[in-house]
Amino acid sequence: MLLVTKNLAELCTLVIDDIYGELPSRIFAALLNRGRAGLSQLAQYTSLTPKQLRHGLAVLLQYDLLFFYVSGPDRTTVYDANPSAAYNLLRSGKVLEMVESLHGADARDVIQSMFALGHTRIADLKEAYKAQINKADATKNGANGTNGHTNGNHADGHTNGGTPHNESDSRARQPAAIRSLEHLNSVLCRLIHAEVLEVVSTASFKSFPDRQSETREMIKTKYFSDGIRGLKKKEEYETRVSEELYNLRDEPRKLKRTLQTNGGGRQKLRKLLNGDKSNGFHSDERDPSLDPKIVLRVNHEKCAVELRNHRLVQAATAAIGETTAQVYGALLRQLTETVTRCRADPLVDIAGGEFYRARAVNTSDIYDNLSPGLDVFTGIGKASADEVDIPTAERLERHAKVDAIVIGDEGGEEEDFDLDDEDYDSEGEIYPPPTAPLQQASTPALNGNHTPNGSNGPANSKPVGGAKGVKFDESAAAPSPPSEELRMQQMRQHLLLLCDNKYKFVRHCDRGTWTVDFEPLFKRLRESELDNAIERKVGRQGLRLARILRDKGKLDEKTLPTMSLMKKSDVQNKMLEMQMHGFVDMQEVPRDNNRSASRTLFLWFCDTPRSIDTLLDNAYKAMVRCLRIRDVHRRENKEVLTFVQRPDVKGREKEALEKKYFDKYQSYVEIEQKLMGQVMRLDSLVGTLRDY
């Protein structure tokens, strides 16, 4: 369950108020503050009439923002807030961008409609799109009949490059994302197969504690009516509970397995993952028609998995380079194709075993799913053996031997590489010798820009900063196009760079397979975010002290100055400052019962989980402030914004408004974009610290 702090509760209430209005947000805030409640209790908490309460509860239930549970002999319904769904409203834009990049513009249009409608029956969704398709066809036919008097306008409806005269006209000229009901059915099958959409059942509106209590009572009544006695009975009871909870959670995926049996959605999804975003609709293969009575909603847990992949690709881009990050993205898509959530539940996932099976992807599978337009020969600089500074290369090689550690499973031992002059991987490929190390390119010429003759650098190649004395060989590139085998070998070098990075993005398994250890990887990323926050707050010296405490554990205040090479007074001042910010704390250990200061040890320690929780709560507070500031600017520009929202003004604000009012409107738009951009950056931090 998500830990709801004061700042998170205020953030969720503000988001609901901004999207759905004051009435649902008032009910949601009462449930967050008071806990689960019935209709009569909510009337007492909110001072609303039963009619207003029913209307607000219907809105919250339609958009999956509430859980409800019917209990007792009188069948009383109690409601509970769903803060995770409320927070996910902030990520709607990111989810839409992710869906468009992976599944196409038509899939984005469907997901956007699902966000607007909440959980929806397929029949109702088809009715909404049927009206939209008929309207678009009628507008298109009317436009074809009156297409001869554009009077100098461009074909896209813009006048000499300006804005369109009417938003509805501009939308009518754009091709519709969904062209027919068969196309809609195909997109729905594709999204169900990708688990972006899931089936809604009665259990979907019950919180996990309610499901667990119901399951335990059912298992006791059905299998253990005579009681649970003995260790063996208890183990059997827990196993049955885990299996039943797993089956309940796996129930929405039954429709996906039915589509797989009938062959729907799979081939189209594969095309899209390979970079073909032409909707896959013109395939000869016909998807099975979906049952109109099925109710669907957006699966935010699967969307979080895709957003986690995007976050890792961003981290690899910043740490290594863009080309290597794209190879990493192909590996992540293969690894997470069957992953349904970011974090495992020990009580539920042990039954299915999906989080405990080792996942690995072959090099050939990664290569097959790599984008054909990606040039893997960029992003890595090569140097011949006679152009390498030997002392520098040997020093780097010594550090590599120390740092090259393969991360095993939890509880396993660490294994060090023993590098020889010629290293071999498990597929028999020879690694580059130590005299010609691979250096990640940091110049623009080695990150996507290459010369016409196919070389990795410009004509006047210069040494890369950080690789002393290294010059790039201009004649190293072959004039003919590289073969498939050579391209695969070069892709493997990018994977090895990901393995050797300090974050350990990838782990090289046996026999040419690769995997990602998500938990230790995000542990390092969380510590990196915490280090950034410490450095911003207390400077480099404070960061040094925090890293020492994190590495060594609890230390006496007399030991810290020696280990940090700082003065005792500076250490004391810095530690007090860090304690004030919540990054470190002190433990007093008395040597005897007198508890005098002279006979007491004062041990400093760094509580990383608590520091991360503090940083997370500060992120919530910053997001609340951004939304509050936006509301203030909204009230200041209320008249202009009300005028702009008129249907006859949308799309032609510059023509309809006077200059001073248009400048005022533009200023508000810029401020809102900056504030929401900051909220999205903070959301990335929240995802790294909490969700991924």
Residue 96, pLDDT score: 95
Residue 66, pLDDT score: 94
Residue 328 lies in a domain: no
Residues 563 and 617 occupy one common structural domain:
no
Structural domain span for residue 658: 611-691
Instruction: Please give the single-letter amino acid code of residue 398.
Output: R
Residue 579 lies in a domain: yes
Residue 573 lies in a domain: yes
Q: Which of 53, 58, 63 is nearest to 12 (CA)?
A: 63
3 state SS of 625: helix
pLDDT beneath 50, residues of the chain: 146-174, 267-271, 273, 275-284, 356, 401-472, 474-478
Residues 39 and 97 occupy one common structural domain:
no
Residue 309 lies in a domain: no
Residues 473 and 549 occupy one common structural domain:
no
Contact, 255 vs 357, CB < 8 A? no
Cβ neighbours for 435, distance < 8 A, ≥ 6 positions apart: 385, 388, 390, 393
Residues 628 and 480 occupy one common structural domain:
no
Residues 465 and 497 occupy one common structural domain:
yes
Residue 385 lies in a domain: yes
Residues 440 and 575 occupy one common structural domain:
no
Cβ neighbours for 514, distance < 8 A, ≥ 6 positions apart: 331, 360, 361, 362, 363, 366, 495, 506, 507, 508
Beta strands in 313-451 (DSSP E): 361-362, 380-381, 405-406, 415-416, 439-440
Residue 379, pLDDT score: 84
Query: Which residue in the block uniquely carries the two structure tokens 């029956």?
Result: 121
CA 96, 99, 103, 107 dihedral sign is negative
Task: Check which CATH number belongs to the domain holding 30 and give it.
Answer: 1.10.10.10
CA distances from 334 to 191, 320, 330, 381, 497 (A): 17, 21, 6, 27, 19
Residues 404 and 448 occupy one common structural domain:
yes
Residues 90 and 77 occupy one common structural domain:
no
Residue 293, pLDDT score: 93
Residues 73 and 89 occupy one common structural domain:
no
Residue 167 lies in a domain: no
Residues 91 and 62 occupy one common structural domain:
no
- How far the first Cα of the chain sits from its last, in Å, is 15
Taking the C-alpha atoms of residue 314 and residue 373, their distance in angstroms, rounded to an integer, is 20
Residue 544 lies in a domain: yes
Domain boundary among 557, 583, 606: 606
Contact, 253 vs 198, CB < 8 A? yes
Domain boundary among 81, 96, 124: 81
Contact, 655 vs 158, CB < 8 A? no
CA distances from 616 to 85, 138, 256 (A): 18, 51, 35
Residue 264, pLDDT score: 54
CA distances from 75 to 209, 426, 518 (A): 19, 63, 44
Residue 146 lies in a domain: no
- What b-and-e string marks burial along 110-137, b requiring 16 or more CB atoms within 10 Å of the CB? bbbbbbebbbbbbeebbeebeeebeebe
Query: Which residue in the block uniquely carries the two structure tokens 């063996």?
Result: 232
Domain boundary among 560, 591, 606: 606
CA distances from 404 to 25, 390, 418, 497, 499 (A): 52, 20, 9, 11, 9
Residues 370 and 463 occupy one common structural domain:
yes
Residues 570 and 635 occupy one common structural domain:
no
Number of structural domains in the chain: 5
Residue 383, pLDDT score: 64
